[in-house]
């Protein structure tokens, strides 16, 4: 491949971590994800969270009903772990092809995580089941103790929770979601075949300075929060490394503009509309465009044991101007105002 090709053909990518929301917002944001990705692992942190097979089936129906006509997009649903979740329900949902994975939110770590897990020790029966049936466990890897500095919460989680968990359950298949630190990248790279990580586009582009550039920037706030520059560089190195245990997961997490630009603004970056363009820019800046396809379209399905997409997409080397705001129609035909990641910037690749 030449250093700067005029176009780039990729196997259609999948998004291994996305928030599609529900109701009006689902209708507004789903087309962005469905236009780019073949499949997506859909987060269960709705209100109330998805904890049963019946709730997941109903949510899947709502997603399918909200898809644009002719879309071939497939949502892969997840179960939200609570302290009291029944392992038999998880096993049944996995066997029936309803649940693709389980999601572990430490209680109160992030948006709609109040019903999350208060103590990993309480879930040993669940972890034994997941280990036995090969059902992936997706982890939001942050401790929640108020005494731990927010910028240290991922590294401390790895040391205090993840490492002991993997020691207790060596057969557990785990995805450490949206990693943000050099410590996480090194831990995953140094682990065995059962541990993988997703990397978001925003954590490849911003460091924590972005939150404070010229004033407070709520659109750059997400959890885990962006860290120092050295960590962003470590994530870029991991993403382009060719290690199949690092793959694409956008963590696109839309909140209407009024909910972001508030006294207590919500965490989450809406990157779905230009996600593949954003990854392409990061890989190009690293001189690694030839590694984008494996990261975006091959390593994820291989880890999940799913077939690769057969369809292809084309990225054209033409600049795209990302609007400062998007007005997307919800189910009732009302416009929801959202600020996309890269708002107001020019990106050099356009999805044809
Ligand atoms: O920034 C985030 N937003 N991080 C999460 O873990 C949850 C997400 C959301 O649901 O808004
Ligand atoms: Zn997320």
Rounded to an integer, what distance in angstroms lies between the CA atom of residue 283 and that of residue 269? 20
Rounded to an integer, what distance in angstroms lies between the CA atom of residue 168 and that of residue 90? 20
CB 230 within 8 A of CB 214: no
Question: Using the 8-state DSSP alphabet, how is residue 294 labeled?
Answer: I
Enzyme catalytic residues? 251
Domain annotation covers residue 1: no
Cβ of 267 closer than 6 Å to ligand 1, yes or no, is: yes
Instruction: Please count the other Cβ atoms lying within 10 Å of the Cβ belonging to residue 327.
Output: 12
Residue 131 burial by Cβ neighbours in a 10 Å radius (0-12, 13-18, 19+):
middle
Residue among 15, 19, 219 to mutate when testing ligand 1 (max atoms within 8 A of CB): 19
Domain annotation covers residue 329: no
**Mean pLDDT across the stretch 233-252?**
98
Q: Are strands 312-316 and 350-351 parallel, antiparallel or unpaired?
A: antiparallel
Quote the tokens at residue 144: 């929640």
- C-alpha angle with apex 193: 160 to 242, nearest 5 degrees? 105
Cβ of 29 closer than 6 Å to ligand 1, yes or no, is: no
Find the domain containing 149 and state its range. Answer: 13-311
Question: Using the 8-state DSSP alphabet, how is residue 298 labeled?
Answer: I
Q: What is the DSSP string of 135-149?
A: --EEE------TTS-
Domain annotation covers residue 207: yes
> What does the pLDDT look like over 64-106, one tens digit per residue?
999 999 999 999 999 999 999 999 999 999 999 999 999 999 9
CB 80 within 8 A of CB 106: no
Give the ligand 1 atom nearest the CA of 109. 6
**Mean pLDDT across the stretch 311-337?**
93
Instruction: Say what the pTM is.
Output: 0.97
Instruction: For residue 228, give the 3-state DSSP assignment.
Output: coil
Give the chain's domain count.
1
Tell whether the model's pLDDT for residue 232 goes beyond 70. yes
Cβ of 111 closer than 6 Å to ligand 1, yes or no, is: yes
Residue among 44, 223, 262 to mutate when testing ligand 1 (max atoms within 8 A of CB): 223
Q: Is the dihedral of CA 225, 228, 231, 235 positive or negative?
A: positive
Residue 333 confidence (pLDDT):
80
How many Å lie between the centroid of ligand 2 and the Cα of residue 11? 24
Q: Which CATH number fits the domain that encloses residue 192? A: 3.20.20.140
Residue 3 confidence (pLDDT):
54
Instruction: For residue 20, give the 3-state DSSP assignment.
Output: coil
How many Å lie between the centroid of ligand 2 and the Cα of residue 249? 9
How many Å lie between the centroid of ligand 1 and the Cα of residue 113? 9
Domain annotation covers residue 176: yes
Long-range contacts of 128-133 (CB under 8 A, 24+ apart): 128/87, 128/169, 129/87, 129/88, 129/90, 129/91, 130/90, 130/102, 130/169, 130/172, 130/173, 131/169, 131/171, 131/172, 132/171, 133/91, 133/94, 133/95
Give the ligand 1 atom nearest the CA of 105. 6
How many Å lie between the centroid of ligand 1 and the Cα of residue 318? 31
Grade residue 111 by pLDDT with cuts at 50, 70 and 90: confident
Mean pLDDT of the chain: 96
Domain annotation covers residue 41: yes
Tell which residue, 176, 230, 235, has the closest CA to residue 203.
Answer: 235
Q: Which residue's CA lies nearest to atom 7 of ligand 1?
A: 111
Percent of the chain with pLDDT strictly greater than 70: 99
Question: Which ligand approaches the C-alpha of residue 17 most closely?
Answer: 2
Q: Which residues contact 144 (CB under 8 A, 6 or more apart)?
A: 106, 107, 108, 109, 153
Cβ of 278 closer than 6 Å to ligand 1, yes or no, is: no
Grade residue 114 by pLDDT with cuts at 50, 70 and 90: confident
Phi–psi pair at 116, nearest 5 degrees: -70, -165
Cβ of 45 closer than 6 Å to ligand 1, yes or no, is: yes
Domain annotation covers residue 106: yes
Tell whether the model's pLDDT for residue 1 goes beyond 70. no
Tell which residue, 33, 243, 336, has the closest CA to residue 43.
Answer: 33
Tell whether the model's pLDDT for residue 22 goes beyond 50. yes
Domain annotation covers residue 120: yes
Grade residue 329 by pLDDT with cuts at 50, 70 and 90: confident
Residue 272 confidence (pLDDT):
98
Cβ of 46 closer than 6 Å to ligand 1, yes or no, is: no
Domain annotation covers residue 8: no
Residue among 22, 29, 45 to mutate when testing ligand 1 (max atoms within 8 A of CB): 45
Give the ligand 1 atom nearest the CA of 269. 1
Cβ of 75 closer than 6 Å to ligand 1, yes or no, is: no
Largest CA distance in the chain: 54
How many Å lie between the centroid of ligand 2 and the Cα of residue 45? 9
CB 292 within 8 A of CB 8: yes
């Amino acid at each position: 491949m030449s250093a700067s090709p005029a176009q780039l053909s990729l196997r259609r990518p999948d998004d291994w971590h996305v928030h599609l929301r529900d109701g009006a917002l689902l209708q507004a944001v789903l087309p962005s994800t469905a236009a780019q990705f073949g499949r997506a692992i859909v987060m269960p942190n709705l209100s109330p969270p998805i904890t049963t097979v019946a709730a997941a089936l109903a949510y899947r129906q709502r997603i399918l009903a909200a898809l644009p006509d002719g879309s071939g997009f497939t949502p892969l649903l997840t179960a939200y772990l609570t302290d009291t979740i029944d392992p038999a329900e998880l096993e049944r949902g996995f066997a029936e092809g309803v649940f693709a994975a389980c999601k572990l939110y430490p209680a109160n770590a992030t948006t709609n995580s109040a019903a999350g897990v208060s103590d990993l020790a309480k879930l040993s029966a669940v972890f034994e089941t997941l280990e036995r049936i090969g059902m992936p466990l997706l982890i939001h890897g942050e401790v929640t103790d108020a005494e731990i500095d927010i910028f240290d919460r991922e590294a401390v989680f790895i040391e205090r929770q993840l490492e002991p968990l993997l020691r207790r359950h060596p057969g557990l298949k785990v995805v450490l979601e949206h990693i943000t630190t050099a410590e996480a990248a090194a831990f995953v790279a140094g682990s065995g075949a059962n541990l993988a990580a997703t990397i978001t586009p925003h954590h490849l582009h911003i460091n924590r300075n972005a939150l404070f550039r010229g004033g407070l920037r709520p659109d750059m706030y997400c959890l885990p929060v962006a860290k120092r520059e050295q960590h962003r560089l470590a994530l870029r190195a991991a993403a382009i490394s060719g290690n199949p245990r690092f793959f694409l997961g956008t963590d696109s997490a839309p909140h209407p503009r009024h909910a972001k630009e508030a006294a207590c603004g919500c965490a989450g970056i809406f990157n779905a509309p230009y996600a593949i363009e954003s990854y392409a820019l990061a890989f190009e800046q690293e001189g690694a465009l030839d590694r984008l396809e494996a990261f975006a379209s091959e390593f994820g399905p291989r880890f999940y044991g799913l077939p690769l997409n057969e369809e292809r997409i084309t990225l054209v080397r033409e600049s795209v101007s990302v609007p400062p705001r998007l007005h997307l129609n919800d189910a009732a035909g009302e416009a929801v105002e959202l600020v996309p990641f890269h708002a107001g910037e020019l990106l050099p690749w356009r999805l044809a």
